[in-house]
Structure 1
Amino acid sequence: MHRTSSLAALFCLLVSADNHASSQWVIQPLHDGQAMQPPTLYPLADDQAQHDIYFDKGRYQIHLADAQTCAYAWGASEGQRVRFNQALPMIACATGPFELRVRVAGNIRLDYDRGQRSLTLSLLPKKSPSPVFRRALPQITCADWSGEPVRVPVGSVFAEGEWVTDFYSGLSAQVSGGHIRLTPARGSNGLLLLEAADFQASAFNWDNATVYFLVTDRFANGDPTNDHSFGRQADGQDEIGTFHGGDIKGIIARLDYIQSLGANALWMTPLVEQVHGFVAGGQAGTFPFYAYHGYWALDYTKLDPNFGTDEDLRTLVTQAHRRGIRLIWDAVINHTGYATLQDLSDFQVPVLRQSTGRPLDNHWQPVAGESWHNYHDLIDYSSPNWATHWWGPDWVRGTLPGYQAPGADDQTLALAGLPDFITESSQSVGLPPLLAAKADSRADPGTKTVAEHLIDWQVYWVREFGIDAFRSDTAKHVELERWQQLKSAAESALQDWRGEQPTAQGIDSPFWMVGEVFDHPLYKDYYYDFGFDSLINFEFQDQAHDLAMCMTDMEGLYQRYATEINNDSGFNGLSYISSHDTTLFYAKYQDLDLQRRIAAPFLLLPGGVQLYYGDESARPLGSYGDDFHQGTRSDMNWLTLDPERQSLLAHWRKIGQFRNRHSAIGAGHHQQISREPYVFSRKLGDDRALIVFAGNEISIKPAQ
């Protein structure tokens, strides 16, 4: 069951007609008679005909669509009324959908009779909600704010008689006696975001980056026709490790949403072609695990068709730049992807055991007594053909015949057992056998070192598409000089692209590179001497829940970050509260008030900040089996934006937009002005911002 509790949400559900893989139920909420958003799709197993779905009160349209025939492949006859518990005949190439009016929110069963071409809708009895475990919030005291005006000392920032505006509420006041008096907006959690009334937004600065990070496959599905590339399958269970359909077109459709958060940079999980098949998910092998996350590349020179086309990417770059959003490419040069049944079949690597009678591709499934790990039984890992038909021993380390064994240090270990590129090698090599035999690869067949091949493959996307930045994956597992080479090549490539794009939407910021050095706290070290402008700051997440309880407690951290970052032009950090490799902020306490309280302490940090998709809307954990990290990559919660979450989202938007207006927030000088109420300023040249926290709002429920 997938629940939606907002008329602004959209819900589409895959099901079968004659062809299960290409047909879909489209269930479209309407508002004032109009559809609200592009579709989000959820694949189902081929044999499913009955679906229990939660419907909010409101109006909906329902029809069966596919990619090959009519817009309404199967829909309603003209004037046909929907009645519950009655079989509704479905008309081929109908002129319109079924119109459904739901008067009482609840679960509705869709029962599709394929033989009779009919749909039956029936209301299901309400179930008692299961108890949800929630931890008690940290016991941290903080001042309360109950709605009264606040007298704010502003004389150190704004001149006597100057008009000052609260960006959050839009209210203004004139400085008198070095003070103003304003009332924070309801829902602001006692916050005033003050700027000069005539202030114009400052220029972009990477030191004030607001990066929106999303798992491409789990964000938004803009093209359901590409959901099953290379025969990738749904598992019909929890879909923990399968592709869910998110793609570049889905991102394009929601660029306005991303811009509304104040984001000025977009980091997407890798879009390049991934291994085609699955491995076993979790320690127990309880689910098939595909490369939906993008970190198991097969061909770095091609987009994965599950994510879209070259034209989609060009459109994304153009449309993002028009909105002042820079594109961050996730650069992975440490490892490639695992060998899967589908790849070994697709590229005719002669290591498969042909006599088993079992499928040798993505249609393989475990039988009784097996787990997903048992697909290994079909592969001969002792075959000498690995050396001559796969990546080859000149390219990667691995525990295969003829291959160099992984080492024990950071640069030579096989991270998570993945084939480790020999990036330290000075030997010139041609293409690996796998890519040499791949007809559509763009990889240069010339000879060069492994690292030079890898750098060329990454830089291609900058020179050809105008990518603005790299997020360097697993940075400590690659020699530092390789990152410097990558950065230098990317800077040159971006200049080339901009030279050919005289109207490149005004994006002229320098190429930027941020590194992932797992567990690295905020301090400057040797990484910054090898091309990195910033490193992901792993320390803030550990403190975030306690600091969210009272923004006043941020002062020590604000002062330290501003001093360390903004007094050194060659140093920055990218702080976060949630990520795909750690946890979600919301998951620990599942408290919407806490999710609101963290917005200001986090978004007003000196340095760069990284929002993980759904931080702004309290996206919950998804199913994860015995692999907790999979839960952090749940589908974006477009379908659960109820009034409380809409109010939460509006709060994050206000603060994010204020940050984006003021480069001084991330890059400026920090000064505390008052402890009670907590008041501080950020200044950078003529850019002045002053922030007030009056206390935690006693009631921050949205107005009904």
Structure 2
Amino acid sequence: MFKLKTLSAMTFGAMLALPAQASALGDTPLYLNINQQAVSDALQLQPAGTTQFKVTTRLEKGTYQIQIADKNHTCGSTFGPEASKPLPFGAMNPLSSCAKGEHYQLKVLLAGDYDFTLDGRDPKAPTLKVLRATKKGVFKRQPPAVDCASWDGKPVTVSVAKTWPNGTLLRDAYSGQTAKVTGGKITMSPAPQSEGMLLLEEAKPAVQTAFSWDNATVYFMLTDRFKNGDTSNDNSFGRHKDGKDEIGTWHGGDFKGITEKLDYIKSLGVNAIWITPMVEQIHGYISGGADGSFPFYGYHGYWALDFTKIDPNYGDEAALKTMVDEAHKRGIRVLLDVVMNHAGYATLPDLQDLGLQDIAQNTQGLPARWADWKPKGKYEGWGSVSQFINYQSSAWNKWWGPDWVRAGLPGYTEPGVDDVTGSVGGLPDFKTESTKYVDLPYFLKHKADTNAKSLPNATVVDYLVKWHTDWVRQFGIDGFRADTVKHVEPKVWAKLKAAGTTALKEWKAANPGKKLDDLPFFMVGEVWDHGMAKDFWFDNGLDSLINFDYQRDALEFAQCMSHVDPTYTKYAGTINKDPHFNVLSYISSHDTKLFFGDYQDVALQKRAANSFMLLPGGVQIYYGDESGRGLMKDGGVFDQAVRSDMNWSELASGEKAELVAHWQKLGQFRKAHPAIAAGSHKKVSDKPYAFVRQKGKDKVLVVFAGRQG
């Protein structure tokens, strides 16, 4: 990447000179013009053998007019839209060569560095793309100001007369210091590292508390991006790296890596882990990015090929068994992500590996192993692999088949337009509503290593339920995280829950020495954008739902903990008064955003933990929330940025190690006191902000003295 110096917001640009050998847009030097001005001494880009030109420059918050032109703004060398219009991020926006006074309008909400790419591969249809640069450390955003009390670093006094009698010895779980209640008050000074907080409990020996899903702290990780414990399984089915940004390739994380880090996970006070789907994924890739800029594999687990096999990139059955057993030894439950809505795409290597070569075409242009194909030349991208797949072939009936899925293929039912019959992301949509008895799909009948067997009088749902719950019966999986819940009929989830409950009972009966307790099978569902509401999903197998509400307010609460009190009151009063209602709240996820990614502010990340880890109900830590894991490049696919590798190398010392220690203290405090997640909530003081949580005999007082500085 060529980097420009930072210039005035109104007087900067970058020169893009097209070499003669490219000639896609002519030989005249061209400039990126912003607000009708270009920089005369801008960098000249002449990448050999390509007609794609990228330049990075800084933009402040505001709206800008964007054009590409020669110095004289000549017709034929002035590129912009046919008529002035907004310039969307990430898209390949068409350019007219005689734009004259027409401009793209770019609205920048976040000050920082931005990549502009001019693509002249098609001389008749050049395009311009703009993306926010993700190079670490280029700039640092500042969160909007929030009014909040400040703490001067001195001891604080809080009235506790209605909570504990005089003479009670209290301990700050954060610093370990103690003090007695005197005159109905307690006086103590928060630890400097606590961001102005006291975690007060009675100073007596800790009592082991029974686990409840009401008090769940769930650690969620994309298995492939967490920890590589076994490098020998990194390239199953001929999967390759792309040698560039590795946005959508497999990174090597596996069960063995998770097992190696279970003690670390336990140190965070975590009592359950959630792993992404582990079943065998499509072998190849699809095109990633608007212009096919990267190969996009099923590393995340949501593009299944065979639900009865573990994807070897994650490990084998022995590695899974070890991981589950070792988690259970540490009192950690295991939630498995499951997909009932869709299967994965059909990729070129799948056709070869499954013996479906009849669907391929132009195979004379392929290497002996189709998984080894790569784009060649300047006119091919990763999406060019589709030239070898015949989407009009009648042989598609040998794939999942029209009785199993909806897909835009010959002989298949077209996807619908509603939530249940529509196609999520263009993926083959299982006919979960069908009452028709089906046999195994052709490819599974002929797949040599599958564990799938024909079932008598079975529907599509019957097969899917059996395939998923067999993992519970075999390994003692404690619960499911159900993907894309609203895209499947409610009764299907009820059926899956009943089967999972039976399967876990059977495993516990067969493994009495390994079971943790007799709690029933648990299911939490992802109903996209669902918030703090109890509805019909809880009558159809779901014990909890992922809460999309909290993340929207997490920044304000991180900036000032006292602002969270109405939310604490609402959550405790709603969740903890109903034994059949719970939610799983989060600040980061693999589908939305990474809290740390917005501001890369360690102190803010500590304060986010303060309000979040004391939330009533269940909470979900996304791997790296506790360690300040940063973003990766996304190639124009926004959610890929939040799926970076766990930042293990940063945790040995320094501010990231201190950040982890902070989350550990809060996590252990939460784990030791069921009252935090499942108790009543009562504010006892405004200045300083303080509240009491109580469940039975368990009682804690939390004090926020204010922001430091």
Same fold by TM (over 0.5)? yes
**Is the contact made by 1:277 and 1:361 (CA closer than 8 Å) also made in structure 2?**
no
User: How far off is 1:133 after superposition?
Assistant: 2.2
The equivalent of 2:615 in structure 1 is 605
The equivalent of 2:415 in structure 1 is 406
User: How far off is 1:146 after superposition?
Assistant: 3.1
The equivalent of 1:160 in structure 2 is 166
Structure 1 residue corresponding to 2:491, chosen from 446, 461, 481: 481
Q: What is the alpha-carbon distance in structure 1 between the residues aligned to residue 551 and residue 281 of structure 2?
A: 30
**Is the contact made by 1:298 and 1:337 (CA closer than 8 Å) also made in structure 2?**
yes
**Is the contact made by 1:284 and 1:626 (CA closer than 8 Å) also made in structure 2?**
no
User: How far off is 1:301 after superposition?
Assistant: 1.0
Q: Deviations over 1:321-367 (max 9, x none)?
A: 11111000101010000000110010111111144422362211112
Structure 2 residue corresponding to 1:358, chosen from 355, 366, 369: 366
User: How far off is 1:509 after superposition?
Assistant: 2.7
Structure 2 residue corresponding to 1:169, chosen from 175, 181, 185: 175
Q: Which secondary structure does the structure 2 equivalent of 1:445 belong to?
A: coil
The equivalent of 1:439 in structure 2 is 448
Structure 1 counterpart of 2:412, one-letter code: Y
User: How far off is 1:132 after superposition?
Assistant: 2.0
Structure 2 residue corresponding to 1:427, chosen from 412, 432, 436: 436
User: How far off is 1:130 after superposition?
Assistant: 8.4
Q: What is the alpha-carbon distance in structure 1 between the residues aligned to residue 480 and residue 547 of structure 2?
A: 16
User: Higher Cα Rg: structure 1 or 2?
Assistant: 2
Q: Which secondary structure does the structure 1 equivalent of 2:663 belong to?
A: helix
**Is the contact made by 2:675 and 2:698 (CA closer than 8 Å) also made in structure 1?**
yes
The equivalent of 2:85 in structure 1 is none
Q: What is the alpha-carbon distance in structure 2 between the residues aligned to residue 187 and residue 131 of structure 1?
A: 24
User: How far off is 1:370 after superposition?
Assistant: 1.2
Q: What is the alpha-carbon distance in structure 2 between the residues aligned to residue 133 and residue 362 of structure 1?
A: 39
CA RMSD of superposed structures (Å): 1.4
Q: Which secondary structure does the structure 2 equivalent of 1:187 belong to?
A: helix
The equivalent of 2:551 in structure 1 is 541
Q: Deviations over 1:261-284 (max 9, x none)?
A: 111110011111101111101121
Q: Deviations over 1:431-477 (max 9, x none)?
A: 11111111221112123100010000110011110000110000000
User: How far off is 1:521 after superposition?
Assistant: 1.3
Q: Which secondary structure does the structure 2 equivalent of 1:314 belong to?
A: helix
**Is the contact made by 1:266 and 1:325 (CA closer than 8 Å) also made in structure 2?**
yes
Would the alpha carbon gap of residues 402 and 130 (structure 1) be closer, same or farther in structure 2, given more than 3 Å must change? closer
Q: What is the alpha-carbon distance in structure 1 between the residues aligned to residue 263 and residue 707 of structure 2?
A: 30
Q: Name segments (4+ residues, structure 1) moved above 3 Å.
A: none
Would the alpha carbon gap of residues 222 and 507 (structure 1) be closer, same or farther in structure 2, given more than 3 Å must change? farther
The equivalent of 2:343 in structure 1 is 336
**Is the contact made by 2:338 and 2:468 (CA closer than 8 Å) also made in structure 1?**
yes
User: How far off is 1:546 after superposition?
Assistant: 1.5
**Is the contact made by 1:322 and 1:505 (CA closer than 8 Å) also made in structure 2?**
no
After TM superposition, the structure 1 stretch with the greater mean CA deviation from structure 2, 627-636 or 349-358, is 349-358
Structure 2 counterpart of 1:270, one-letter code: P
Q: What is the alpha-carbon distance in structure 2 between the residues aligned to residue 466 and residue 476 of structure 1?
A: 27
Structure 2 residue corresponding to 1:659, chosen from 665, 670, 680: 670
The equivalent of 2:425 in structure 1 is 416
Structure 2 counterpart of 1:410, one-letter code: D
Structure 2 counterpart of 1:214, one-letter code: M
The equivalent of 1:499 in structure 2 is 509
Q: Counterparts in 2 of 1:218-237, with a 5 A limit?
A: 218-237=225-244
Q: Counterparts in 2 of 1:228-627, with a 5 A limit?
A: 228-349=235-356, 350-359=358-367, 361-368=370-377, 369-387=379-397, 389-447=398-456, 448-504=458-514, 506-627=516-637
**Is the contact made by 2:157 and 2:185 (CA closer than 8 Å) also made in structure 1?**
yes
Q: Deviations over 1:147-167 (max 9, x none)?
A: 211212222222322211111
User: How far off is 1:418 after superposition?
Assistant: 0.2
Structure 2: segments with no counterpart, 5+ residues: 2-134
Q: What is the alpha-carbon distance in structure 2 between the residues aligned to residue 131 and residue 220 of structure 1?
A: 24
Q: Which secondary structure does the structure 1 equivalent of 2:372 belong to?
A: coil
User: How far off is 1:585 after superposition?
Assistant: 0.3
The equivalent of 2:117 in structure 1 is none
The equivalent of 1:184 in structure 2 is 190
Q: What is the alpha-carbon distance in structure 2 between the residues aligned to residue 408 and residue 522 of structure 1?
A: 27
User: How far off is 1:588 after superposition?
Assistant: 1.2
User: How far off is 1:640 after superposition?
Assistant: 2.0
Q: What is the alpha-carbon distance in structure 1 between the residues aligned to residue 400 and residue 250 of structure 2?
A: 25
Q: Is 1:676 the equivalent of 2:687? A: yes
Q: Which secondary structure does the structure 1 equivalent of 2:359 belong to?
A: coil
User: How far off is 1:630 after superposition?
Assistant: 0.7
Q: Which secondary structure does the structure 1 equivalent of 2:138 belong to?
A: coil
Q: What is the alpha-carbon distance in structure 1 between the residues aligned to residue 283 and residue 688 of structure 2?
A: 57
**Is the contact made by 2:196 and 2:706 (CA closer than 8 Å) also made in structure 1?**
yes
Q: Counterparts in 2 of 1:120-131, with a 5 A limit?
A: none
Q: What is the alpha-carbon distance in structure 2 between the residues aligned to residue 355 and residue 321 of structure 1?
A: 49
Structure 2 counterpart of 1:367, one-letter code: K
The equivalent of 1:118 in structure 2 is none
Identity of aligned residues (%): 53
User: How far off is 1:590 after superposition?
Assistant: 1.6
After TM superposition, the structure 1 stretch with the greater mean CA deviation from structure 2, 358-367 or 562-571, is 358-367
Q: What is the alpha-carbon distance in structure 2 between the residues aligned to residue 493 and residue 378 of structure 1?
A: 43
**Is the contact made by 2:508 and 2:515 (CA closer than 8 Å) also made in structure 1?**
no
Q: What is the alpha-carbon distance in structure 1 between the residues aligned to residue 318 and residue 162 of structure 2?
A: 52
**Is the contact made by 1:235 and 1:288 (CA closer than 8 Å) also made in structure 2?**
yes
Structure 1 counterpart of 2:427, one-letter code: L
User: How far off is 1:136 after superposition?
Assistant: 2.1
Q: What is the alpha-carbon distance in structure 2 between the residues aligned to residue 522 and residue 363 of structure 1?
A: 48
Structure 2 counterpart of 1:575, one-letter code: S
- TM-score computed with the length of structure 1 as normaliser: 0.80
Would the alpha carbon gap of residues 354 and 348 (structure 1) be closer, same or farther in structure 2, given more than 3 Å must change? farther
Q: Deviations over 1:501-530 (max 9, x none)?
A: 111253433211100011111111111110
Structure 1 counterpart of 2:360, one-letter code: L
Q: Which secondary structure does the structure 1 equivalent of 2:376 belong to?
A: coil
Q: Deviations over 1:637-677 (max 9, x none)?
A: 11123401111110011001111111111111000000111
Structure 2 counterpart of 1:663, one-letter code: P
**Is the contact made by 1:201 and 1:662 (CA closer than 8 Å) also made in structure 2?**
no
User: How far off is 1:291 after superposition?
Assistant: 0.5
Q: Counterparts in 2 of 1:77-226, with a 5 A limit?
A: 132-198=138-204, 199-226=206-233
